[in-house]
Chain A
Amino acid sequence: MTALACARVRVLLEAYVDGDLALSDPQSAHAIRDHLLTCVDCRRQHEQAVSLPFRMKALRSPAPPPSLITGVMASIAPLPQTSRRAWGLLIPEALLGAFILWYLSGLEGLTAIASGAWSDLQGLAIWGSGSAPLPSVPVADALLLGAFIALTAIAAYHLSVLSRLDPTSTPHLRESRRT
């Protein structure tokens, strides 16, 4: 069996300590064992190699500050006020939707609505050119238009509130470092 140089021993030391070398290359493992009996420097390195995993496991770190959990939860939890507002918006949306549905069902479908709206617009255009008096628009039509506009505005606002509640949107990490 040939003697190993210190440099070679040190390259193989971790595999030797873990027992991997004895399995993959038993001859080298024996040579290292023999080398360690005679070489003080390598023996010192071997001691370090053996103790290192234990020292790593025993390494202490500071305890996490108490504010850590609060900070994390504050970063991910939706703001309660925003959440309440998001639910509250469903009420006017439901009322407006119900009104529109009720109105549409009384006019035999969308075709009637479209033709009514078209004739209203034509009347307004003629009135705008000054050749005819202001046409009389049914109150229900005006209410329907108002309901459509209100529903669109509330739904747009609702969407903006919901996007802020989305947990997959960018989190807002607060600068609430340890106290």
Chain B
Amino acid sequence: MYAHAGAEALAMTGTPEARAVAAGQLIRQATGGDLDAFEELVRRLQRRVYGFAYQHLRDLDEAYDLTQEIFVKLYRNLARYDAERPFEPWFWKLAANTTINYRRKRVPLPTDQSVDQGTGAASPALAHDPVLVGALAQLDPAYRLPILLHYYADLPLEQVARSLNLTIPATKSRLHRARALLRNSLAESEELDR
């Protein structure tokens, strides 16, 4: 239980460096079999991971399953984490790979499904910025993943590149292309609204 209290205290400091140090401590404890430490780690990551999964899959149940799969995979791979290196890029690389494999296994592309299109009442995110959410759903997953990692999960460019096994110029170019596609969709729908 002390892992919980300790991590809460560390989480309050808020800076990325402090977050990384705290995550490292939790990981070390979790690797040693401390399930309380692992639970605290999940508690701290769950909002971003679930939000990321939801924005990528556009389905609450699928987002739940993917989030759970990411955390189970994290637990199974804890021993492979090198405590000398930053936790976030390693974790998001694992999350990105799990997401890519999950999509391959189970879910049709969102452009094929009309599940969330026009069902704003059932979807909290759609109610917030429906035009952007719609445009994001139309985006090819190869473009959506880097843009979600960078702007939604708040990873710096270098970490997005490492997470996706891309070079920094390739990541930047993919982000620019994704933003251009989104911009066109947004401009088009704005045009239609006039």
* A interface residues with partner B (beta carbon < 8 Å): 10-11, 13-15, 18, 20, 44-45, 48-49, 52-53, 55-65, 68-69, 71-73, 75-77, 167-168, 171, 173, 177-178
Can you list 23 residue pairs at the A/B interface with Cβ under 8 Å?
A: A11-B180, A13-B180, A14-B180, A52-B179, A58-B129, A59-B55, A59-B125, A59-B133, A61-B51, A62-B60, A62-B124, A64-B50, A69-B46, A71-B64, A71-B68, A72-B42, A72-B72, A75-B68, A75-B72, A167-B75, A167-B76, A171-B76, A177-B64
* Residues of chain A contacted by B35 (CB below 8 angstroms): 73, 76-77
Given the known inter-chain contacts A61-B54, A65-B64, A68-B50, please indicate yes or no for A173 contacting B72, CB distance below 8 A. Answer: yes
* Residues of chain A contacted by B60 (CB below 8 angstroms): 62, 178
* Residues of chain B contacted by A71 (CB below 8 angstroms): 64, 68
* Residues of chain B contacted by A15 (CB below 8 angstroms): 176
CA distance A52 to B176 in the complex (A): 11
Q: Does B92 contact A (CB under 8 A)?
A: no
Is A177 touching B124 in the complex (CB atoms < 8 A)? no
Shortest CB–CB separation between residue B8 and chain A, in angstroms?
A: 15
Q: Whose C-beta in chain B lies nearest to the C-beta of A64?
A: B50
Chain B, 114-131, contact with A by CB distance < 8 Å: what is the 0/1 string?
000000000111001100
* B interface residues with partner A (beta carbon < 8 Å): 35, 38-39, 42-43, 46-47, 50-52, 54-55, 60-61, 64-65, 67-69, 71-72, 75-76, 123-125, 128-129, 132-133, 147, 151-152, 154, 172, 175-176, 179-180, 182-184, 186-187, 190
Is A177 touching B179 in the complex (CB atoms < 8 A)? no
Given the known inter-chain contacts A60-B128, A69-B42, A168-B76, please indicate yes or no for A52 contacting B68, CB distance below 8 A. Answer: no
Is A59 touching B64 in the complex (CB atoms < 8 A)? no
Question: Which of A45, A60, A65, A168 is in CB contact (< 8 Å) with B183?
Answer: A45
Is B151 touching A44 in the complex (CB atoms < 8 A)? no
Listed residue (B65, B67, B71) with the most chain A CB atoms within 10 angstroms of its CB: B71
Is B180 touching A53 in the complex (CB atoms < 8 A)? no
